[in-house]
Amino acid sequence: MDRSVSKIERQVPVRALNCGGGCANRRIGINTRSPRRAPLQPIMTKTLAPQTGTAFELAKGQSLRVIDLEGEQVADLVAFNTSDKNEWLSSGRSIDYASRIYLTTGDILYSNRSRPMFTILQDDVRRHDFLLTPCSRETFAIIYGQKDYHPSCFENLAKHLARFGIASDSIPTTFNIFMNVEIDTAGKMSILPPRSKAGDAITLRAEMDLIVGLTACSAEQSNNYKFKPIGYQIC
């Protein structure tokens, strides 16, 4: 059975019942291109089981809200232009133009062609990683010496993006929502437990028609050694 596409009914925290973009839009002066200013209402709510992933279409102007249902759980995000899959979410472009490695409310996530793919409308946690690649079977072998099979974000993304004709070799660095990577003055990276608590969320508005891949991360260290579900809404 393909656990990753099963729709698990769970109680979504009250705070997550709307997409929360309205107030954020006013505060940071983002043009929503919509006369509606009230908080965005979800048209779809789903839950990813632990260590699974999915892929879906997100239309320009729609928002994706990713919710850490239980706390301390990472979700890897990637996106491609629906009409030209050679345009993809670019860590390098996004960090370069923001001049920061930690992106949050008001920041834009750019494509490899320097066009906006997402705007972050709201962010409870303000700590996400955009430096590291999605965990893969090789990640666990190279870093942790794990020889046996291990579920991974890369495998989950590849499996679901294949339905849209996207090859695994096309998967770039992911925007690792809620992942807490600290960098010291010598440049040494430390993966710490996520700062997210149960019900914390981030809302990203699509700035073009997108194919989106999303996971509930499978790496022990990134998730404080416990695998939990991830909720997501399209608004």
- Residue ranges in 72-131 that form contacts with Zn ion under rule CB under 5 A: none
Shortest distance in whole angstroms from residue 162 CB to Zn ion: 18
Altogether, the residues listed in the chain come to a count of 235
Shortest distance in whole angstroms from residue 53 CB to Zn ion: 9
Nearer to Zn ion, 97 or 227 (CB): 227
Shortest distance in whole angstroms from residue 19 CB to Zn ion: 24
State which of residues 177, 208, 217, 234 lies at the interface with Zn ion (CB under 5 A): 217
Interface with Zn ion includes 171 (CB under 5 A)? Answer: no
- Residue ranges in 126-165 that form contacts with Zn ion under rule CB under 5 A: 135, 153
Shortest distance in whole angstroms from residue 217 CB to Zn ion: 3
Interface with Zn ion includes 219 (CB under 5 A)? Answer: yes
Nearer to Zn ion, 86 or 168 (CB): 168
Shortest distance in whole angstroms from residue 106 CB to Zn ion: 26
CB 38 within 8 A of CB 19: no
Interface with Zn ion includes 58 (CB under 5 A)? Answer: no
Task: State the residues that interact with Zn ion by CB under 5 A.
Answer: 135, 153, 217-219
